[in-house]
Structure 1
């Protein structure tokens, strides 16, 4: 069952995923090129000095990219599902409805995580060649909440898309914006270090919200 659902979701999202990977790697690569340019012009010591004295991390362009990518993945994956009434057919298959919805969300989480992992691999591969491990960790830990925000955005927008009534969608949207604001409360590098494990748990718990929308769909709630 999981293979069939994963294949269906892949067919639906494959072109968007290629675009998402290219876009995120493009922004991550451009950020690394900015660092490379400064290193070439003024030396690695200048980069280290700026990072230590001014809290610069040189990857500010990436801040909202994961959020956008996660949001659009949910839209691409679930809006057609609702518009074409495909979800109704899926829920009538002779399998656990909770498992089927869970499989759809798991697919999204896996492909999104792979996309974001590729970003971290690219940045880590480059940074380890020009910076001390402490400064490399400084940059990657600062970026971690942004990528968690992308995963949370995917789960929250999935919750909104799966909701069968517009009135409740608007309420869910307002709540989602407030929840996502938590990931961007501070612009200080590594401000979320102590909170990262809890932020990860908080992000994963948002997956349960989609089941609330599916439950409302099952009992016939509609505009």
Structure 2
């Protein structure tokens, strides 16, 4: 059954996933080209000095990209399903409803993992050619909260889309906006290092919110 659910979600989101992955690759590649251009004009020594003295990490263009990709994936996956009232049919399948909803969310998380992994692979291949392992680690750890924000964006917007009433959706949207802020509170490099395990757990726990919306949907809540 899980394979069938994954296939159904893949059919709904495959074109968006492809475009999102290509966009992720493109924006990451452009960030690497900017580093190349800076090295060509000002030299690698200048780049190292700026990184150490001014806390620059040179991939700032990526900051809100994972969040945007996660938000749009949730909208593509769940909003049409709610508009066409397909969720009711899905929940009547001979399978645990909670497992079904969690499987749908797991599909989205895995889709984001594959998309975001492309960016980390590109940075992992390119950055060591110009920076020491300590500086590469500094860049990747600084970017980690941005990618966690992408997963949070997906899970929170899924929660909003699955909510059956518009009034509650507006309230959920306000709550989601406040939660998003947590991932961008500290702009300095590696500012989240000690908090990253807790931020990861915090992100995973957000998945439980979608079940609240489904329970309200099953209870017949509507505008």
Give the TM-score normalised by structure 2: 0.99
Report the equivalent of 1:83. Answer: 83
Tell me the CA shift for residue 117 of structure 1. Answer: 1.1
Q: Secondary structure at the match of 1:190?
A: coil
Q: How far apart in 1 are the matches of 2:84 and 2:212?
A: 20
Report the equivalent of 1:103. Answer: 103
Q: Secondary structure at the match of 1:188?
A: coil
Does the alignment pair 1:199 with 2:209?
A: no
Report the equivalent of 1:178. Answer: 178
Per-residue CA deviation, residues 131-179 of structure 1 (Å, 9 max, x unaligned), is 1001111111110000000000000000000000001000100000001
Report the equivalent of 2:153. Answer: 153
Report the equivalent of 2:131. Answer: 131
Tell me the CA shift for residue 114 of structure 1. Answer: 1.1
Report the equivalent of 2:167. Answer: 167
Q: How far apart in 1 are the matches of 2:124 and 2:9?
A: 30
Report the equivalent of 2:216. Answer: 216
Q: How far apart in 1 are the matches of 2:128 and 2:111?
A: 26
Q: How far apart in 2 are the matches of 1:47 and 1:25?
A: 23
Q: Secondary structure at the match of 1:128?
A: helix
Tell me the CA shift for residue 43 of structure 1. Answer: 2.0
Per-residue CA deviation, residues 182-207 of structure 1 (Å, 9 max, x unaligned), is 00001111100000000000000000
Tell me the CA shift for residue 76 of structure 1. Answer: 0.1
Q: How does 1:30-49 map to 2 (within 5 A)?
A: 30-49=30-49
Per-residue CA deviation, residues 47-105 of structure 1 (Å, 9 max, x unaligned), is 11110011111111111000100000000000011011110000001110001101100
Give the TM-score normalised by structure 1: 0.99
Q: Secondary structure at the match of 1:184?
A: coil
Alignment length (residue pairs): 223
Ranges of 4+ aligned residues in structure 1 off by more than 3 Å: none
Q: Secondary structure at the match of 1:95?
A: coil
Report the equivalent of 1:73. Answer: 73
Q: How far apart in 1 are the matches of 2:41 and 2:213?
A: 54
Q: How far apart in 2 are the matches of 1:92 and 1:185?
A: 42
Q: How far apart in 2 are the matches of 1:28 and 1:193?
A: 22
Report the equivalent of 1:50. Answer: 50
Q: How far apart in 1 are the matches of 2:144 and 2:46?
A: 25
